[in-house]
C-alpha cells in the first residue's frame, strides 16, 4: 500500500444549458482545484471533493500509463457501529489511454461524517484529516498521466 497526501478539488458546475462546459483535458496530467486550470501532481495519491452539489462526478483523462486501481471511500458509517465499509467496496480500474467519469456521488452516502474517527485499509494508507469532513474521498494507485476535474450536478 502506498502513502500519499490528498488534494481538495472544488466542483465546477456542469452546465446543463446549450452553452456547454469545459471537459477535463487529456494533457497535462494533474488536477483542477476548481479554477479551470490543471495543476501538476506532486506526490498526491488522492482527492477530496466537497459535496456542495446534489451529486458530484469526477471526470478523468488518462494517458499512456495505466491509471490503475481507484477506490472511493464510503463516508457514512454502518448503523450505530461507527465503522465504515471497506475501501474496496467502491473500486474501479482506470485503463491507459482512456477517459470518462466516476460517480455520481451523493452526500447521503459518500460524504465523510467522521474522517478522523475512522480507518480505511485501502490503496492509500494516509489517515483522513478533518479537511475530509463533508467530502467524497477518492484514492488512486498511480497519477502519472492522470488528469482530473470535479463537476457538480446542481
Give per-residue pLDDT as tens, 73-122: 999 988 888 889 999 999 999 999 999 999 999 899 999 999 999 989 89
Per the structure, the count of domains in the chain is 1
C-alpha grid cell for residue 14?
Answer: 456542469
Distances 55 to 19, 83, 94, 141 between C-alpha atoms, Å = 21, 24, 21, 25
In a domain, 141, yes or no: yes
In a domain, 138, yes or no: yes
Let me know if residue 115 belongs to a domain: yes
The answer to whether residue 87 is domain-embedded is yes
Is the model's pTM score more than 0.85? yes
Residue 108 lies in a domain: yes
* Omega cis (within 30) before 45: no
Identify the domain containing residue 70 by its residue range.
45-153
CA distance 152 to 28: 22
In the prediction, which pLDDT does 20 show? 60
Helix (H) / strand (E) containing 141: none
Band of pLDDT at residue 1, cut at 50, 70 and 90? low
Instruction: Answer yes or no: is 20 within a domain.
Output: no
Confidence of residue 16 (pLDDT cuts 50, 70, 90): low
Query: How much is the pLDDT for 27?
Result: 84
Domain for residue 19, yes or no?
Answer: no
Q: What is the number of H-type helices and E-type strands within the chain?
A: 1, 11
First to last CA, the chain: 36
Mean pLDDT taken over the chain: 90
Q: Does residue 27 lie within any of the structural domains? A: no
Amino acid at each position: 500500500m502506498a502513502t500519499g497526501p490528498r488534494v481538495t478539488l472544488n466542483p465546477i458546475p456542469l452546465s446543463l444549458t446549450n452553452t456547454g462546459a469545459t471537459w477535463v483535458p487529456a494533457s497535462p496530467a494533474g488536477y483542477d482545484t476548481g479554477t479551470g486550470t490543471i495543476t501538476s501532481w506532486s506526490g498526491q495519491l488522492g482527492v477530496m471533493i466537497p459535496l456542495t452539489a446534489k451529486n458530484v462526478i469526477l471526470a478523468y483523462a488518462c494517458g499512456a500509463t495505466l491509471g490503475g486501481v481507484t477506490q472511493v471511500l464510503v463516508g457514512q458509517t454502518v448503523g450505530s457501529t461507527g465503522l465504515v465499509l471497506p475501501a474496496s467496496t467502491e473500486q474501479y480500474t482506470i485503463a491507459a489511454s482512456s477517459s470518462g467519469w466516476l460517480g455520481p456521488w451523493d452526500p447521503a452516502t459518500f460524504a465523510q461524517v467522521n474522517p478522523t474517527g475512522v480507518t480505511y485499509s485501502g490503496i492509500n494508507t494516509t489517515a483522513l484529516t478533518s479537511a475530509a469532513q463533508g467530502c467524497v474521498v477518492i484514492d488512486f494507485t498511480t497519477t502519472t498521466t492522470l488528469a482530473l476535474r470535479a463537476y457538480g450536478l446542481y
